[in-house]
Amino acid sequence: MSEDAWNLIKSGRYDEAAQQLARHINAGMGVALGHFNNKAVAELAAGRLLDAERTLKQGQAFAERDERSRGSNLLLRLSEVQWLNGRAEEAVSSLMSGIRHLKDGSVRFTDAAGGGTEGLMLYYYGVRLGRSSLIENAYEWLARVRERNRLRVWPGPLVRWFFGELDDSAVLVDGCGAGSMEVALSTARIDTLARRQLIEFCFHRAVRAMRAGEWPLSRELFGTAVSLENPLVDIEWYLARREADIGRT
């Protein structure tokens, strides 16, 4: 994404940023996969979820034919936006396709843990849909991620937490440098990385509570995630907002 478009996004001028990126993509010169991803970031922030989904589909088509994009794709992000748009089955299909590409090595670029985000998101889908097969697939994939021993860097601590190797406090220490939620929230308000990682933890901790039938705790944690400033690049914030809205109905 050009510096101009990034500055527009940071200043809240989302539609202008999306338009600038659209012009760049349409010109066809020096286009990269990141242009599509960041156009979708702007569209999401502007509340134009259907436009974001269309952009990500265009980006995925670009990734499949562009030599420089080999080893990368937008299937995780596309899946998450499809979920936000109420297209649950399409979201599941896109995510499962992304995991298959990670398994066969055709996609190499993912999070630092080697695909922990994909597995955790699949678990969320399984819990939300009440579908045990997806939950089992999530466990299977996360077990493979765990075996690769790339869990020191985020979201690796979340994968370890998922399997019970870390408790809530230990994850907060890894993600925010704080052993309590109160201190983590204070840190997150001044540290962008800590905020992003706290939002992710709150989201997945809320999913665990949902799975256990602890609905008040689940709603509280989704609400905590949404109470933090939107970091723009993390879909968990939007997913938490969606869950918080559902909880209020």
* 232 residue type, one letter: L
Query: What is the distance between the alpha carbons of residues 136 and 133, in angstroms, rounded to a whole number?
Result: 5
Task: Give whole-number Cα distances, 13 to 22, 43, 50, 247, in Å.
Answer: 14, 10, 18, 30
CB atoms within 10 A of CB 230: 14
Domain extents for the chain? 1-69, 71-149, 167-249
| Angle between helices 49-65 and 33-45 in degrees, nearest 10 | 170
Indicate the helix (H) or strand (E) that contains 129.
helix 116-129
pLDDT tens for 1-38 read 445 888 899 899 999 999 999 999 999 888 888 899 99
- Mean pLDDT per 10-residue interval, the chain, length 249 residues: 76 94 91 92 96 96 80 87 97 96 84 92 98 98 91 94 96 93 95 96 98 96 96 94 88
* pLDDT of res. 1: 43
Distance of CA 29 to the CA centre of its chain: 29
